[in-house]
Structure 1
Amino acid sequence: MDMAELCRQQTNLTVKQIGLLERMQIVFPFLADLVHGQLKVYVPARKTGSLVIIAQERPRTIYMSKRESDYGKLQPAIEEPLVQDTLSTGIPGKGKREWTYGSLIDMYTYAIRDGNQVIGVVSFEVDGERLQIDGYPCILATAVDVLSHARKGVEPEQYRAVSASDGILITDQFSRIVFANAAAQRIYRVLGVGSLRGCHLFDRQLTRHICREIMERERPWQKELTAGNLTLIRRQIDLQEGGQLVRRIVILSDVTEVRAKDKEIRIKSAVIQEIHHRVKNNLQTIASLLRLQARRSQSEEVRQALQESVNRVLSISVVHEFLSQQGEEAIHVQQVMQQIFDLVGRNMADSQFTIRTEYSGPDVVLPSKYASSLALVLNELVLNAMEHAFAGRPSGKIGLAVQEDGDCWRLDLYDDGCGLPAGFNPRKTRSLGLSIVRTLIEGDLEGSFTLENDARGQGYGTHARISIPKPEREISSEVIQSLEE
């Protein structure tokens, strides 16, 4: 259950007090990272003589051995004297507690107040001997100020997690740096700055290397800076009281390597798009040459074979066309299917023949490796239907139905034509198209393929049923969203 429900079930806190704790909860993960220690929040339980732990966060900025979570646990108050003392007096406490057998760590407790009433205690459990941070009392004082600031409600994104490699600067009300962690000193050392303590945050000495600043409109408290050879994300948290600055926290994240990789990916993506574009153009040139050859041929059989080859080449070019336009190594099967319907209808159907097409089921998004083979398969099946299913008919329908079945996609390409002849065995036929289909599905796509008449019998159409396993690497929702846009 969430913290609010836990408080309603196990404590006598009012709705207003629970709302206060919910607002403060946003900063709990940030505070655990800031103090490099485990955070817990205790409130008096409804059961006399007991405390309930309504929040627990582990730090991401330092290693702490794994322990079972105490969230939601009822704790006898007598076993937490430091917490009970702060709960009774409201005075911050400091002491020791056993972390593992024979190992003691520091414990700091601070009161959470609703007016003059102490409604809970936040504790920080810190391995001070291993930590050895110069100026650690400043970090604790800052954590208390953040807790007080969070009572009014804060922006969650502004207080997102801190990593061990992030630089942290803390200033006083005059923007003088009173604390700088080792990561911040390392970043500024690269920029030629020695000591940070006592410097003004906006001193020319600290800002002279900055050659570019980008501020996000949605996040006015965050900037991307280019300084020397570094690219930094600068996040600023101003802690105010009565409209006056009390303390400022600045978090610097070195994203130089990330931005370099992003640039490299963009360049490679542009090159890949250009390659797909050229492949598409080359395939269309080949198709044009085959068409020219077909027109010059005197044999109807040769012309028909060349026209089928044209459609095969163009069905592959459809995939490369999508990839060249959207720059993603994934495509929508529905879009490819529609293009194939259009190609075959334009190149193979008689001018007097009317073809209707339809698509049903979820839209399948596949990597280009699968899409190229599947496009060729669908092209062959549509060609086969156009050639054999509608003989002597003025119109016909071809559709594709897609179903998701666990780890597989099931595709049913169907028509309303004359159906398969009696005794037809797709595995014994000498049709080149069906041989290509079977080879691609069973070989490249590692799936299965069956060709059969409609359940109502011969004369009601044919169903080509394809089952292919889903790719091991699923297409992410971001890719799907970018494709839809």
Structure 2
Amino acid sequence: MAFTDPLRSVPDFDAGDAEWLHLLVGDWQMVADLGFGDLLLCFPADVIPAAESPTGDPIPGEGSEFLVLAHARPTTGPTAYQKDMVGEVVGGEAAFTLRRAWVDRRIERAGPSEWSSLASRSVTLVPLVRNNRTIAVVSLTADPQHDRLPSRMELVYHELASALLRMANQGTWPDFAVRTDSRRGAPRVGDGIMRLNAEGTVEFCSPNGLSTFRRLGLAGDITGQNLLHVARQLPLTAPGVDETLAPVLAGTMPWRAELATGKASATLRAIPLREGPERTGALLLCRDVTELRRRDLQLVSKDATIREIHHRVKNNLQTVSALLRLQSRRMHSDEGRNGLQQAMRRVSAIARVHESLSHEISEDVDFDDLIRHQVKLAVETASAGQHVRTRVSGRFGRLPSKSATSVALVVNEIVANAVGHGLKDRDGTVELVVTHREDEVTDAGERYRVVEIAINDDGRGMGDAVIEESGVDAYRPPAEGEGLGMQIVRTLVASELQGGIRWQPADGGGTSVIITARFPRAMSGRS
């Protein structure tokens, strides 16, 4: 359930109001850190609709309690509430002050006596006004710390928190125009902050912020300098300052950007500060992400190396397959030629798995495209002068590479066996059907995805016999007429796929081979 559901249930509020609250709660940790206090988002339990309200706007009913919809604790100081306040009901004097703030639409301070049911500290109530109506109230509960004089940094932090809360009261923050960056390394209050004036000059820079710019190559202090001019003097890896970065450094747009030199990288985020329609300056968050970017580069390099290894393994396997094909052409005995062709088919099946992995970042494979090609390849290789059709239905999803290789080999052997024996010297159809059973959970709590793979042919059939093998039953000497392929199938199904295999007559004639495979959920990727 979304925390905005109570607001959505009131007809006077629309989806835009709920989305704006989502933006606020997604960003208000910054306000809690700057204000050294807890934030609570409160909404009345009883709302008088605008059509019935004396003010013409939706307001809380007389004596209405308030529900806490969201709660944020500061990382820069102690919390005011030891328990999670989400879902708590606020009543009494505290609810009265919340209703007063809602109706008056003004930021108010509630004394300890009015808020004693929740906390004994000073509380600031901020009605969130959007489209000329209040949609919720935020409370900031902080320790006033009368026993000592606050530092310069604490004063700036409090000033910035108050500025953001005033903008929230006016409905100008958060801004729907904010751009998000999918890359890691979003700056936080503790990473470093700057206070810019309307001209982009740095009025205050925290010690962490100064250290970040020093690592980028700044010499001297940054306070009193225009940040855009400072950035132009840094040895940036990109020439000059591009048009995306400039508005961030000037504090005119609520965007994120990144500065990078040969030795360091830093992410920046600007939040323009306004008093009504007038921009008064900006809050700039900065974070040193040098080590984070170095690790990202290592991961990218590692991924590229793994993909290159899979590509080279695929090339080597294709070379082996080609050599086996050449050698089979020089064989004079049918038995030797068939053995080499079977080996070539198995090597090609493994090569296709590595080819898929060479195009993937993850270590699992989208197996559906791969198996369709594999079934066609197995049929074409095994059939000589026959017209054998193939059908594939159902989806495997993604499989880990080890399981994908085993499934590809098993399917390859059974399809080749169906063409070579069941459809020997005749035309027909080979069909592969994939179905998913209900997950299995072991006594140890391990969850397995269970997939059933049926390979059907409409050939001569195997009589009425039903053969089923799994686990240790699969490890037996080959029966009369069984070759290496069936030994491979039984071994892989029992050991690698943790399942079983069953041969039975197919409906309408022919043979149906049903394989049950189990894949650990933690490894199986997306289904």
Per the normalisation by structure 2, the TM-score is 0.76
Q: Distance in 2 between matches of 1:186 and 1:254?
A: 9
Q: Is the 8 A contact 1:105 1:127 kept in 2?
A: yes
Q: Distance in 1 between matches of 2:6 and 2:381?
A: 68
- Pairwise CA distance, 1:308: 1.0
Amino acid aligned to 1:435? Q
Q: Distance in 1 between matches of 2:344 and 2:158?
A: 76
1:250-399 pair list within 5 angstroms: 250-351=284-385, 353-393=386-426, 395-399=427-431
Q: Flag the 1:374–1:138 CA change in 2: closer, same or farther, 3 A.
A: same
Amino acid aligned to 2:138? V
1:437-475 C-alpha deviation (Å, 9 max, x unpaired): 11112112222222222255xx33322323222452342
Q: Distance in 2 between matches of 1:8 and 1:282?
A: 60
Q: Flag the 1:358–1:204 CA change in 2: closer, same or farther, 3 A.
A: same
Q: Which residue of 1 aligns with 2:445?
A: none
Q: Does 1:170 align with 2:195?
A: yes
Q: Is the 8 A contact 2:32 2:72 kept in 1?
A: no
Q: Flag the 1:211–1:326 CA change in 2: closer, same or farther, 3 A.
A: closer
Q: Distance in 1 between matches of 2:7 and 2:200?
A: 39
- Pairwise CA distance, 1:139: 2.1
Q: Flag the 1:198–1:152 CA change in 2: closer, same or farther, 3 A.
A: closer
Q: Distance in 1 between matches of 2:39 and 2:67?
A: 10
Say which of 474, 485, 496 aligns to 1:444: 496
- Pairwise CA distance, 1:84: 5.7
Q: Distance in 1 between matches of 2:358 and 2:429?
A: 31
Q: Is the 8 A contact 1:413 1:463 kept in 2?
A: yes
Q: Flag the 1:3–1:325 CA change in 2: closer, same or farther, 3 A.
A: closer
Q: Is the 8 A contact 2:39 2:141 kept in 1?
A: yes
* Structure 2 residue matching 1:450: 3-state secondary structure: strand
1:185-200 pair list within 5 angstroms: 185-190=210-215, 191-192=217-218, 195-200=221-226
Q: Flag the 1:20–1:299 CA change in 2: closer, same or farther, 3 A.
A: closer
- Pairwise CA distance, 1:226: 0.4
Q: Is the 8 A contact 1:97 1:106 kept in 2?
A: no
Q: Is the 8 A contact 1:50 1:74 kept in 2?
A: no
Q: Flag the 1:23–1:377 CA change in 2: closer, same or farther, 3 A.
A: same
Q: Distance in 1 between matches of 2:15 and 2:504?
A: 64
Q: Which residue of 1 aligns with 2:20?
A: 23
1:180-259 pair list within 5 angstroms: 180-190=205-215, 191-192=217-218, 195-204=221-230, 208-212=234-238, 221-227=255-261, 229-240=263-274, 244-259=278-293
Q: Is the 8 A contact 2:236 2:260 kept in 1?
A: yes
1:299-319 C-alpha deviation (Å, 9 max, x unpaired): 111211121111111111111
Alignment: residue pair count = 468
Q: Which residue of 2 aligns with 1:78?
A: 93
- Worse-matched range after superposition: 397-406 or 434-443: 397-406
Q: Is the 8 A contact 2:17 2:135 kept in 1?
A: no
Q: Flag the 1:126–1:469 CA change in 2: closer, same or farther, 3 A.
A: same
- Pairwise CA distance, 1:346: 3.0
Amino acid aligned to 1:53? L
Amino acid aligned to 1:381? I
* Structure 2: gaps spanning 5 or more residues: 48-60, 440-448, 469-473
1:85-119 C-alpha deviation (Å, 9 max, x unpaired): 64576353164589999985442223445788777
- Worse-matched range after superposition: 40-49 or 259-268: 40-49
1:304-362 C-alpha deviation (Å, 9 max, x unpaired): 112111111111111122222445422222222223223223322113x1111111112
Amino acid aligned to 1:275? I
Say which of 46, 57, 63 aligns to 1:49: 63
Q: Distance in 1 between matches of 2:518 and 2:200?
A: 62
Q: Flag the 1:59–1:417 CA change in 2: closer, same or farther, 3 A.
A: farther
- Pairwise CA distance, 1:148: 4.3
1:139-172 C-alpha deviation (Å, 9 max, x unpaired): 2222224314645872275489864653222323
1:174-233 C-alpha deviation (Å, 9 max, x unpaired): 33334444532332343445655444333437853444357769x972222104522122
Q: Which residue of 1 aligns with 2:160?
A: 139
Q: Which residue of 2 aligns with 1:480?
A: none
CA-based RMSD: 3.8
Q: Is the 8 A contact 1:77 1:84 kept in 2?
A: no
Q: Flag the 1:312–1:66 CA change in 2: closer, same or farther, 3 A.
A: farther
Q: Is the 8 A contact 2:349 2:409 kept in 1?
A: yes
Q: Distance in 1 between matches of 2:231 and 2:517?
A: 66
- Pairwise CA distance, 1:16: 5.5
- Pairwise CA distance, 1:381: 0.9
* Structure 1: gaps spanning 5 or more residues: 478-485
- Worse-matched range after superposition: 99-108 or 271-280: 99-108
Say which of 515, 520, 526 aligns to 1:465: 515
Give the share of equivalent positions with the same residue, in percent: 26
* Structure 2 residue matching 1:399: 3-state secondary structure: strand
- Pairwise CA distance, 1:389: 0.7
Per the normalisation by structure 1, the TM-score is 0.82
Q: Flag the 1:121–1:419 CA change in 2: closer, same or farther, 3 A.
A: same
Q: Distance in 1 between matches of 2:194 and 2:400?
A: 45
Q: Does 1:418 align with 2:460?
A: yes
- Pairwise CA distance, 1:123: 1.0
Q: Distance in 2 between matches of 1:159 and 1:335?
A: 34
Q: Which residue of 1 aligns with 2:55?
A: none
- Pairwise CA distance, 1:403: 1.6
- Worse-matched range after superposition: 95-104 or 81-90: 95-104
1:110-129 pair list within 5 angstroms: 110-113=126-129, 121-127=137-143
Q: Does 1:107 align with 2:123?
A: yes
Q: Flag the 1:453–1:78 CA change in 2: closer, same or farther, 3 A.
A: same
- Pairwise CA distance, 1:81: 6.5
Q: Is the 8 A contact 2:115 2:123 kept in 1?
A: no
Q: Distance in 1 between matches of 2:8 and 2:378?
A: 66
Q: Flag the 1:112–1:267 CA change in 2: closer, same or farther, 3 A.
A: closer
Amino acid aligned to 1:411? I
- Pairwise CA distance, 1:264: 1.5
Q: Distance in 2 between matches of 1:195 and 1:105?
A: 37
* Structure 2 residue matching 1:475: 3-state secondary structure: coil
Q: Is the 8 A contact 1:193 1:205 kept in 2?
A: no
Say which of 433, 436, 440 aligns to 1:404: 436
* Structure 1 residue matching 2:140: 3-state secondary structure: strand
Q: Distance in 2 between matches of 1:417 and 1:88?
A: 81
Q: Which residue of 1 aligns with 2:84?
A: 68
- Pairwise CA distance, 1:236: 1.8
Q: Which residue of 2 aligns with 1:483?
A: none
- Pairwise CA distance, 1:369: 1.5
Amino acid aligned to 2:62? T
Q: Flag the 1:347–1:80 CA change in 2: closer, same or farther, 3 A.
A: closer
Q: Distance in 2 between matches of 1:109 and 1:380?
A: 72
Amino acid aligned to 1:362? R
Q: Distance in 2 between matches of 1:295 and 1:18?
A: 71
